Copies of this chain bind each other. A is one copy, B any other.
Amino acid sequence: MVRKPGPKHQMAVAVDMVVLSLRDGRLHVALIERAAPTLRSWWALPGGFVLQGESLEDAAYRELSEEAGIGRGSVVLEQLATYGAPDRDPRGRVIAVAWVVLGANLPDLTAGSDAARARWWPVEEIDHLELAFDHPDILRAGLERARAKLEYTTIATAFLGGTFTMSQLRGVYEAVWGQRLEAGNFHRKVLQVDGFIRSTGEYTHGRGRPAAILVAGPATVIQPPILRATN
């Protein structure tokens, strides 16, 4: 242990975000095509350096706003893990605090100050893409975190707007897990979790029987959890 932080211990600290959203029923992640000299034209997760007076969470929100035009109110943030291999960034020692960000109806992306392009990618197509730095690891961990969290928390509603139907909620699970769920059983399960959803009393109208319009309830945990198929 060293008593005081000295120059030997100073390093750059960054935040990197795995921003997930549903677009026409499929799970997408926000990626930036780098314009900076280092790894130019590689695709990467949005992110940037933490400033001195700024908390890690504030840095994440600032970068979301600068790089993707995403405001504070429209997303849920959760810290994922911190990546600090000495050689993970060719520019020097950079410690990256990674976040998972879930949002509803997020806007199309526009290239920010340091991006050539920015767009939403369907997660199944990412395998064909080479991501910069250790971002493949971070993305994989972020996806797994999101999938796991749907099992035992109510954050699926973060992917939906203020109101939604049971089918739409089920659609979130199906898109994130990449797996079909039986509609009747899902319906019953969600209802029996106290405070997961509340009914507004309103109903949709379209083809088929009208669906109850729901809003997220106060519950945060699902007990017992909704489990993915194990295959």
Contacts and interface: CB of A to CB of B under 8 A. Distances in A.
Contact of A56 (B67, B82, B113): B82
Copies of this chain, count: 2
Interface centre among A1, A51, A113, A223 (most CB of B within 10 A): A1
A48 B5 CA distance: 9
B5 A94 contact: yes
Contact of A9 (B9, B12, B97): B12
A175 B13 CA distance: 38
Contact of A82 (B1, B3, B82, B93): B82
Contacts of A112: 1
Nearest to A63: B1
A14 B10 CA distance: 10
Given A10-B11, A82-B79, A84-B13, A1 B55 contact: no
Contacts of A67: 1
A48 B12 contact: no
A223 B148 CA distance: 14
A47 B3 CA distance: 11
A140 B182 CA distance: 38
A10 B12 CA distance: 4
A117 to B, nearest CB: 14
A94 B48 CA distance: 18
Contact of A3 (B3, B114, B223): B114
Nearest to A11: B13
Interface of A: 1-5, 8-14, 36-37, 46-56, 63, 66-67, 79, 81-82, 84-86, 91-95, 97, 112-115, 223-224, 227, 230
